[in-house]
Chains A and B, each alone.
Chain A
């Protein structure tokens, strides 16, 4: 299975009935495709809507109904549109149950860096700092390494997105839970050994007695 599909399918299992969920641009957006059957969640897009959905079919795009990347979306019945203060009030005020974000680095303190590489790539933080500071649960969905370089580090070397400890890290190799004691290896991907995960990780991993294989949701 494609690495990014593995990650998206595993993250989808973290979403619960009725959750208000914000998915970041890129890999996190694809999590919506793998929601377990029967689970209904409310997707927020931070440009000002709850109830975003795919465009039902080509030709039904609406000029003023778009996601945070400016792409066309649809909306479910019961959707609500609002301004940017309301949107970030929901995020900062503890009303957003889950955010799923991409990452450049995560460290032993569970801190995330995902918004700039000084001198090289400066996209800006957009809503990421508010999302990580404010969401009730922060899930980082990222590839375990980049071009052979470790991304799960002792300390982030890139500017932090927030000092808040994220709640879960899902990669194509493992599910890792940052805790007060450090990074705990909770699950490994199908066919991946604990040693393989450790070899691809710079940070120290706490390895419990049992590290089961990831449950992967069914493709829809």
Chain B
């Protein structure tokens, strides 16, 4: 059975209250059609795990604007004053995580590890309530794995099986999140016949991908 689904059907799978890993860095490499459909269908009380919340009106910023996010786990909200406003007003819970730690926690979640040991954050507010472990005389923080109900990705190409590759800086968190979502939905820029992406160039193997979004309108159709 084909993994291709309409963007409407893909978002219908996502219940209110779901946790979502969403790819992208300042909206570059985010699944913009899926995000727009989440807003259109009004999915609410979402937990979103993503590098940032982009800007008001753009990318994950659209979910913030529409007040669909209950909790945001992220490294940076400096480019989105509305996220900062909602955080300071206590309207949206924001958990700030160092960017490299966020990436490794997602990798740990997707790769079956019990967490990662990182020097980042030792002795700062980030370390509060966390275990420290000494290895070879150096102190590390134990950072626990992150997973979510869904991973929503953007990729360059998906072949018919769901093998994925990526574009330049639109790669960012996408291949990591592909490992850590219960249901993985990719929004490809282009769908290509199986075999067009050579095995050496497949970044995300098809077994990780549950669905990809059908082609949008183009060529006047």
- Which residues of A are at the interface with B, using a C-beta cutoff of 8 A? 45-49, 62-70, 75, 81-85, 87-88, 91-92, 119, 121-130, 133-134, 159-163
- B217 beta carbon closer than 8 Å to chain A: no
**Contact, CB under 8 Å: B121 / A129:** yes
Given contacts A68-B25, A130-B98, A159-B125, contact A125 B119 (CB under 8 A): no
Q: Bound complex: CA of A51 vs CA of B54, how far in Å? A: 24
A122: B residues at CB distance < 8 A: 77, 84, 87-88, 94, 96
**Contact, CB under 8 Å: A69 / B122:** no
B159: A residues at CB distance < 8 A: none
CB distance from B179 to the nearest CB of A (A): 11
Q: Bound complex: CA of A82 vs CA of B175, how far in Å? A: 10
5 contacts between A and B (CB under 8 A): A70-B79, A84-B25, A84-B103, A123-B84, A125-B126
| Overall SS of chain B's interface | mixed
- Which residues of B are at the interface with A, using a C-beta cutoff of 8 A? 25-29, 51-52, 54-55, 74-79, 84, 87-88, 94, 96, 98-104, 107, 118-126, 156, 167-176
CB distance from B31 to the nearest CB of A (A): 14
Contact partner, A49, options B52, B100, B101, B168, Cβ 8 Å: B168
Of all chain A residues, the one with the shortest Cβ separation from B170 is: A64
6 tightest Cβ-Cβ pairs between the two chains A and B = A123-B78, A88-B100, A70-B26, A163-B123, A130-B100, A64-B167
Q: Bound complex: CA of A133 vs CA of B126, how far in Å? A: 13
**Contact, CB under 8 Å: A84 / B173:** yes
**Contact, CB under 8 Å: B51 / A129:** no
Q: Bound complex: CA of A80 vs CA of B102, how far in Å? A: 22
A46: B residues at CB distance < 8 A: 99
Of all chain B residues, the one with the shortest Cβ separation from A79 is: B168
B107: A residues at CB distance < 8 A: 85
From A46, A47, A127, name the one whose CB has the most chain B CB atoms within 10 angstroms: A47
**Contact, CB under 8 Å: B123 / A162:** yes
CB distance from A92 to the nearest CB of B (A): 6
CB distance from B89 to the nearest CB of A (A): 11
B96: A residues at CB distance < 8 A: 122, 124-125
Q: Bound complex: CA of A45 vs CA of B172, how far in Å? A: 11
B79: A residues at CB distance < 8 A: 69-70
**Contact, CB under 8 Å: B169 / A47:** yes
Contact partner, A81, options B74, B102, B123, B171, Cβ 8 Å: B171
From A70, A75, A134, name the one whose CB has the most chain B CB atoms within 10 angstroms: A70
A62: B residues at CB distance < 8 A: 168
Contact partner, A124, options B26, B75, B124, B170, Cβ 8 Å: B75
Q: List 18 additional A-B contacts (Cβ < 8 Å) besides A70-B28, A128-B98.
A: A48-B169, A48-B172, A49-B169, A64-B156, A66-B169, A81-B168, A83-B103, A83-B174, A83-B176, A84-B51, A85-B107, A92-B100, A122-B88, A123-B76, A125-B76, A125-B99, A162-B120, A163-B123
Q: Bound complex: CA of A67 vs CA of B27, how far in Å? A: 12
Given contacts A124-B77, A125-B96, A130-B101, contact A160 B123 (CB under 8 A): yes
